[in-house]
Amino acid sequence: MSEIADYIIVGAGSAGCAMAYRLSEDGKHRVLVIEHGGSDAGPFIQMPGALSYPMNMRAYDWGLTSEPEPELGGRRLAVPRGKVIGGSSSINGMVYVRGHAHDYDHWDAEGATGWSYPDVLPYFQRLENWHGNEVDSEADPGWRGTSGPLHITRGRRDNPLYNAFIEAGQQAGFEATHDYNGEKQEGFGAFEQTVWRGRRWSAANAYLRPALRRANCRLTRALVRRVIFAEGRAVGVEVRRGGRIEVIRARREVILAASSINSPKILMHSGIGPAAHLADHGIGVVADRPGVGGNLQDHLEVYIQYACLRPITLYRYWNLPGKAYVGARWLFTRTGPGASNNFHATAFIRSRAGIDYPDIQFHFLPIAVRYDGKVAAKAHGFQVHVGPMRAASRGRVSLKNADPEAAPEIRFNAFSAPGDIEEFRHCVRITREVLAQPAMDPLRGEELQPGPAVQSDAEIDAFLREHAESAYHPCGTCRMGAASDPDAVVDPECRVIGVEGLRVADSAIFPRITNGNLNGPSIMVGEKAADHILGRDPLPRSNRQPWVNPRWRDSDR
Strand, coil or helix: 347: strand
Nearest to 97 by CA among 170, 12, 200, 185: 185
**In this structure, what is the dihedral angle of CA atoms 9, 12, 15, 19, given to the nearest 10 degrees?**
50
Strand, coil or helix: 339: helix
**DSSP class of residue 533?**
H
Phi-psi category of residue 415: left, alpha or beta, with phi > 0 → left and psi -120 to 50 → alpha: left
Query: Do 24 and 31 form a contact (C-beta atoms < 8 A)?
Result: yes
Q: What is d(CA 3, CA 291) in angstroms, rounded to the nearest whole number? A: 32
Q: What is d(CA 173, CA 176) in angstroms, rounded to the nearest whole number? A: 9
Burial 351-369 (b: 16+ CB within 10 A, else e): beeebebbbbbbbbbbbbb
Query: Phi and psi (nearest 5°) for 374?
Result: -95, -25
Query: Do 444 and 277 form a contact (C-beta atoms < 8 A)?
Result: no
**DSSP class of residue 204?**
I
Q: What is d(CA 13, CA 17) in angstroms, rounded to the nearest whole number? A: 6
Is 151 an annotated catalytic residue?
no
Q: What is d(CA 473, CA 297) in angstroms, rounded to the nearest whole number? A: 8
98 to 103, 160, 179: CA distances (angstroms): 10, 27, 11
The residues, any chain, with a CB within 8 Å of residue 68's CB and separated by 6 or more, are: 74, 75, 76
Query: Do 267 and 225 form a contact (C-beta atoms < 8 A)?
Result: no
* Adjacent-strand bridge partners of 531: none
Q: What is d(CA 270, CA 264) in angstroms, rounded to the nearest whole number? A: 10
Q: What is d(CA 271, CA 249) in angstroms, rounded to the nearest whole number? A: 18
Among the listed residues 36, 102, 106, 473, the single catalytic one is 473
User: Is the preceding peptide bond at 43 cis, omega within 30 degrees of 0?
Assistant: no
Query: Phi and psi (nearest 5°) for 191?
Result: -85, 155
Nearest to 397 by CA among 249, 260, 557: 260
H or E stretch at 387: strand 381-388
Active site positions, annotated: 473
